Chains A and B, each alone.
Chain A
């Protein structure tokens, strides 16, 4: 073998020394990107050509300070708005019976509740007073109620009660 042939065979052998495989470029870049730049970028769109805002890429897990500040400001404004709106909707009375000069919602708004309670109690008294008289006149519904007036649950379970109140009228 001549000198040139030896050189050629050596070069040929050198070219075959540890022939590298195809480098996994994407896989390696993912690791490099995560290690150096932080969280990986997730594309909300596929790899279509860029078209305005729809092609924007968003970084997950690391919102900017601007986004955080805007979010907090929006939450604060929403809270203030809800508070003011609820103040206009809720019935408020300027008179305060607490006497110590402080405004108390429940004291200031007790009057409507007292008025409604008095009205319903009055109607109940009138009904209970009128029922015995109606029973004496032979009205069956009134008789059932009077007979079980001491026990509402017993009244509810009785056959008579069902016959009077639970039966569906023919007109339904």
Chain B
């Protein structure tokens, strides 16, 4: 890693530590700064996972409230961003399980017999076909795909956020891509 990048990362970490210390003392300005540093990315991930603007807003709020409440437990072993994204994933998964209308999206790809033979006539839009294929992926596989291929997280960050091994993250991504190729093949045939 270039020296400048390392120095920048250390500066960010030091700044965040100072902000965290101030938030623990009840400094809401520091809380706002910490929030602004991570809110947009957390909201993006949450929205990609749940696909609903209101739910994304609620889950993002819940994520930060929980993070601030549990801030004294943050040991600093990992970056604050990784830690709060792990909370965001947990909050989102738990929240989605409670929302009845989103349960249909959690059906596994294997349980959906039509996903591998998506018809061009039935769904002429490639984008919506891909979206349907992603929605039909198993939960863990779908999250890995979204975090890696859409949001640009590394396997280390995904492993930390989801509480899995890096190898598991890689195998899930391989699996997700394979199933998407199958879905895409239906469009390519014609």
Q: Could you tell me the distance in whole angstroms from the C-beta of A15 to the nearest C-beta in chain B?
A: 7
B176 to A: closest C-beta gap in Å = 10
CB contact between B180 and one of A10, A16, A28 (< 8 Å): that residue: A10
Contact (A15, B180) CB under 8 Å given A9-B126, A29-B32: no
- The A-contacting residues of B in range 132-158, CB under 8 angstroms, are 134, 145-146, 149-150
The distance from the CB of B125 to the nearest CB of chain A, in whole angstroms, is 9
Residues on A with C-beta less than 8 A from B145 are 14
Docked CA distance A23–B129 (Å): 26
Rounded to whole angstroms, the CA-CA distance of A6 and B39 in the bound complex is 34
Q: What are the residues of chain B within 8 A of A172 when measuring CB–CB? A: none
Known contacts: A9-B184, A28-B61. The answer to whether A14 contacts B130 by CB under 8 A is yes
Determine the interface band of chain B, counting residues with CB < 8 A from chain A. 35 or more
Verify if A13 is at the interface (C-beta below 8 Å from B): yes
Determine whether B22 belongs to the interface, using a CB cutoff of 8 Å to chain A.
Answer: no
Report Cα–Cα, A13/B135, bound state, in Å.
Answer: 13
How many pairs of A and B residues are in contact by the CB < 8 Å rule?
88
Whether A21 contacts B60 by the Cβ 8 Å rule is: no
Cα of A13 to Cα of B180 in the assembled complex, Å:
11
Is A65 among interface residues, defined by CB-CB distance under 8 A?
Answer: no
In residues 27-76 of chain B, which contact A (Cβ within 8 Å)? 28, 31-32, 35-36, 39-40, 43-44, 47-48, 51, 53, 56-57, 60-61, 64-65, 68-69
Q: Is the CB of B56 within 8 A of A20?
A: yes
Asked if B12 CB lies within 8 Å of chain A CBs, one says: no
